[in-house]
A = this chain, B = another copy of it.
Amino acid sequence: MANRRTITGFSNPTVKFLRSLREKKFRKQSGKFLAEGLRLLTDARAAGRLPEVLVMATARDSHPLLDALEADVLAAGGEVLEMGPDLLAKITGKDNPQAVAGVFAEFDTSLAALDRSAARIWLVAQALRDPGNLGTMLRTGDAVGAGGLILIDDCADPFSVEAVRASMGAVFTQGIALARWDEFLPWLRGGPGQLVAASLRDAVDYRTAPYAAPCFLMVGNESRGLPAEYELACDLRVTMPMKGRADSLNAAVAAAVLAYEALARLDG
């Protein structure tokens, strides 16, 4: 059966291709990304996203979720690749013979693909560099019922293995858009939307701020925060108490505290 292959040999071009997806350059060239682990792949399937290629070990324990995934991938015209544990470890970077991985097509990441009326909360990150923070923001977005995450300027790649893993599956359920600031702002102003910055500048207490849906909550780069110009373009600048020595929170933490406050207030 053409859709089911056993791969042998480290120099096999398929193995090389799968390994290359750990690097952003090759993800962008191919428009594909890698997600690892049965839980993540099952979350993707539940969200209606199937891998184009499913990768697993020739000798493995049977698992009903994996069997279901395999059947769905084959039924959808996808490919199932089996290989020995050594090759699999080369691709997943993990010495786990139960490991599975899937190759997915990257999604449409244009602003035009977002339907702002679909959710009351949206997360926005500017120049976010840490893929773990990015994935955590996607995960938080899922939890608060956000529509998605808009990545402004040069952010970490949401399709990196680290970001996908930290998202705990939310990469498959949250909308994701990549845009420059001077694309994002006109898009935002082209419809309803309140832009809120986590800020220290001329800011109001985040507990009493007048949130309004659809509410776009924006956090800045891990080291530099948001550029002053971006903050000033916001409808609202909110601040969280800082009782200690530090003057900022982790970016993903700031987004989450703000998102849960907005959720409670918009729901209330």
Binding site for B on A (CB under 8 A): 43, 46-47, 132, 136, 139-145, 166, 168-170, 173, 207, 240-246, 248-250, 252-253, 256-257, 260-261, 263-264, 267
The CA-CA distance from A253 to B219 in the complex, in Å, is: 15
Contact across chains for B139 and A246 when beta carbons are under 8 A apart: yes
Q: How far is the CB of A148 from chain B (nearest CB, A)?
A: 11
**Copy number of this protein in the oligomer?**
2
Q: Is the CB of B253 within 8 A of A136?
A: yes
Cα of A249 to Cα of B143 in the assembled complex, Å: 7
Question: Given A253-B252, A256-B253: A246 and B144 within 8 A (CB)?
Answer: no
Assembled-state Cα–Cα distance A56/B232 (Å) = 40
Q: Which of B47, B250, B257, B267 contacts A260 (CB 8 A)?
A: B257
Contact B253 A240 (CB under 8 A): no
Pick the contact of A263 from B136, B141, B241 — CB < 8 Å?
A: B241
- Pairs across A and B, CB under 8 Å, 23 listed: A47-B245, A139-B250, A139-B253, A142-B243, A142-B245, A142-B246, A143-B240, A143-B243, A143-B244, A143-B249, A145-B243, A145-B244, A166-B250, A168-B246, A168-B248, A170-B246, A173-B244, A249-B256, A250-B256, A252-B253, A256-B256, A257-B257, A260-B261
The listed residue (B140, B142, B241) touching A144 by CB distance below 8 A is: B241
Q: Which residues of B sit under 8 angstroms from A246, Cβ to Cβ?
A: 43, 139, 142-143, 168-170
User: Are A143 and B256 touching (Cβ within 8 A)?
Assistant: no
Is there contact, CB below 8 Å, between B166 and A245?
Answer: no
Of B144, B241, B245, B260, which is within 8 A of A46 by CB?
B245
Smallest beta-carbon distance A123→chain B, Å: 12
- Chain B residue contacts of A243, Cβ below 8 A: 142-145, 263
Q: Which residue of B lies closest to A166 (CB)?
A: B250
Contacts of A145 in B (CB 8 A): 241, 243-244
Residues of B within 8 A of A173 (CB): 244-245
The 3 closest A-B pairs by CB, nearest first: A145-B243, A142-B244, A253-B256
